[in-house]
């Protein structure tokens, strides 16, 4: 049997010269905090450490080192850095499906699922893009539940 191996194209590609970081030529030039043999190009916007092109991370129009990114992630100091994301589509689906075990909670959770689906339709669904399938399924199941409750209440109780 033949063996097939998929290899990333970048494995054989030579890196661009700018991404390697410039080596120091003169002792009076500033060196990178993390790479003493590389020339510093910019200071970190948070801690002031000098960074080479390898260490420079441009985030929110600011140059930040990896240590500050990690510290900002742990202490939640960086506003636009997402540590996690709420999966609204899953919550809407759970609101519609899980209460079906006991039947009676669906009188409250079905409208909540519909509201949640409509309210968060345009919200980001996850770090990895997802389809709107869960929202659609939640709307469908919750719509059936609301329809079932309306039939039950109109025919059996009135």
Q: pTM for this one?
A: 0.53
Q: Which range marks the domain in which residue 135 is found? A: 88-156
Half-sphere exposure of residue 92, counting CA atoms within 13 Å on the CB side?
Answer: 28
Domain assignment present for residue 4? The answer is no
Q: What pLDDT was estimated at residue 135? A: 93
The CATH number given to whatever domain includes residue 70 is: 3.30.40
Cα separations (Å) of 38 from 23, 59, 69, 72? 4, 22, 21, 25
Give the single-character DSSP code of 38. Answer: B
**For 11-29, what is each residue's pLDDT tens digit?**
344 444 555 555 655 666 7
Q: How many domains does the chain have?
A: 2
61 and 35 inside one domain? yes
92 and 51 inside one domain? no
Contact 146, 114 (CB under 8 A): yes
126 and 151 inside one domain? yes
Q: Which long-range contacts (CB under 8 A, 24 or more apart) does 59-67 make?
A: 65/33, 65/34, 66/34
Query: Could you read off the pLDDT tens digit of each residue along the chain, which spans 158 residues?
Result: 676 655 444 334 444 455 555 565 566 677 888 888 888 888 888 888 888 888 888 877 888 888 888 887 777 677 666 667 788 889 999 999 999 888 889 999 999 999 999 999 998 877 777 889 999 999 999 999 999 999 999 988 77
SS3 (DSSP) at 102 = coil
């Amino acid at each position: 049997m033949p063996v097939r191996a998929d290899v990333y194209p970048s494995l054989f590609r030579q890196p661009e010269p700018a991404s390697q970081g410039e080596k120091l030529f003169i002792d009076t030039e500033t060196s990178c905090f993390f790479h003493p043999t590389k020339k510093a190009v910019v200071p970190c916007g948070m801690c002031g450490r000098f960074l080479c092109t390898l260490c420079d991370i441009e985030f929110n129009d600011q140059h930040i080192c990896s240590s500050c990114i990690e510290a900002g992630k742990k202490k939640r100091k960086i506003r636009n850095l997402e540590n996690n994301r709420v999966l609204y589509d899953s919550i809407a689906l759970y609101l519609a499906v899980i209460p079906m075990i006991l039947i009676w909670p669906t009188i409250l959770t079905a409208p909540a699922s519909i509201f949640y689906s409509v309210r968060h339709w345009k919200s980001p669904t996850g770090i990895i893009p997802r389809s709107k399938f869960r929202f659609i399924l939640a709307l469908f199941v919750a719509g059936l539940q609301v329809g079932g409750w309306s039939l039950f209440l109109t025919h059996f109780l009135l």
